[in-house]
Structure 1
Amino acid sequence: MTNEPTSPCREQPAASPIVLEPVTADDAPLVADVAVRAYNDHYTHLWFDEGTWYVTKCFTPVVLREDISHPNHRYYLILVDQQPVGFVKLKIDQPLPGFESFNALELERIYIERAATGQGVGRTVMEQVTDIARQYGKELIWLKAMDSSTLAIAFYRQSGFELCGTHQLSFPQMKPEYHGMVIMKKEILPRSNQ
């Protein structure tokens, strides 16, 4: 893809141990492996079947190969000291309902293995996602988070996001008490205006 902005992770100083590495459909098996590990570290309690249905629906190599190939999607592996510990999925052109006047990007997924949490990985990844959004000329980043994930919501607030709505999931395989989600947004300005 010749029109892609340069990934900010490729411009990182050599000493930085945390980078976002863009992936292609050929990397789907590796993304699947990382996705399943990271998802199972945090979310099996949401499901009657411990997440088997959801993992099969979203994180097999076949499913990921197709999703990574979608022209509006960008996937990145999260590497710490060159080892994959998570992944990010962005929807590059994804308006936020109610805020359609903003040129928006959705941070649809950010999963990090439990062993890599609490080390500044999430903060660094969010900074890099913001840089990617700026490179695409975006004015707003938005995401959904489980309303029961108080630590994740606090992290997103610390990263500059604010609550702007709610959403309800309707997966019958999911325990009903976990169907609620919050929608959060972060307005961004070009680097020169901050």
Structure 2
Amino acid sequence: MINKTAHIKIRIATQQDANLIALLGRVTFTETFGHLFTDKQVLLDYYDLTFSVDKIEKSIAKANNIYWLAFADRLPVGYAKLKLNSQTEFIKEKSACQLQKIYVLKDFLSMKIGFELQNVLLKKAQEKSFKKIWLSVFVHNERAINFYSKNGFMPIGNHDFQIGKDKYDFIALFKQLA
């Protein structure tokens, strides 16, 4: 049973945290999307492409990326990524950024850590004077779609994303920042 009164801490991630983010990325991706993959090798290849420690280190080093790590009683349980100056086919304005990732280990979802990560990320986007923020969500991830809808994100279009031979449908959402 998860301790609902655990001490939650969120901080900016550094390159030294790349191994934690890579591991959290693999585990949370499996928890959320692993069931969609009939060919487990495709999933393993995707991990190597997306969640290698080297890839995460390089991503953290980019000036346009900001990562956060969330801890519950000092255990790393989630992370978030904000991509600055990020346009999409639906939003071409330079004052847009992207909420690229918020992932929390399944056992810790009830602690509202995703909400806290989102708040920190949105605050940073506003501090940096961005006017809009957008994100993409798998169309069948109802939990995430409901989460973002409740927090003021509105649909702006659909697109697909390919992993291996399979294409997955995504919905793009955006939020106007004050």
Scaled by the length of structure 2, the TM-score of the pair is 0.87
CA apart distance, 1:62 = 1.4
SS of the equivalent of 2:58 reads: helix
Give the number of the structure whose residues are more often strand, by fraction. 2
1:192 alignment partner in structure 2: none
Change (3 A) 1:140 1:19: farther
Q: Which 4+ stretches in 1 moved above 4 angstroms?
A: none
Would you say 1:106 and 2:98 are equivalent positions?
yes
Superposition pairs of residues 76-155 of structure 1, within 5 angstroms: 76-101=68-93, 103-155=95-147
CA apart distance, 1:119 = 2.1
The one-letter code sitting in structure 2 at the alignment partner of 1:186 is K
Would you say 1:184 and 2:173 are equivalent positions?
yes
The one-letter code sitting in structure 2 at the alignment partner of 1:35 is G
> For 1:16 and 1:140, how far apart are their aligned partners in 2?
33
SS of the equivalent of 1:169 reads: strand
* 1:19–1:78 Cα contact (<8 Å) kept: yes
CA apart distance, 1:161 = 0.3
Change (3 A) 1:16 1:139: farther
Deviation track 1:88-128 (CA, whole Å, cap 9, x = no partner) reads 11111112433323611101111110001122212222222
Aligned residues: 172
Would you say 1:172 and 2:164 are equivalent positions?
yes
- Structure 2 alignment gaps of length 5 or more: none
Change (3 A) 1:102 1:70: closer
> For 2:156 and 2:175, how far apart are their aligned partners in 1?
10
> For 2:75 and 2:28, how far apart are their aligned partners in 1?
13
Would you say 1:28 and 2:12 are equivalent positions?
no
How well do the aligned residues superpose, as a CA RMSD in angstroms?
2.0
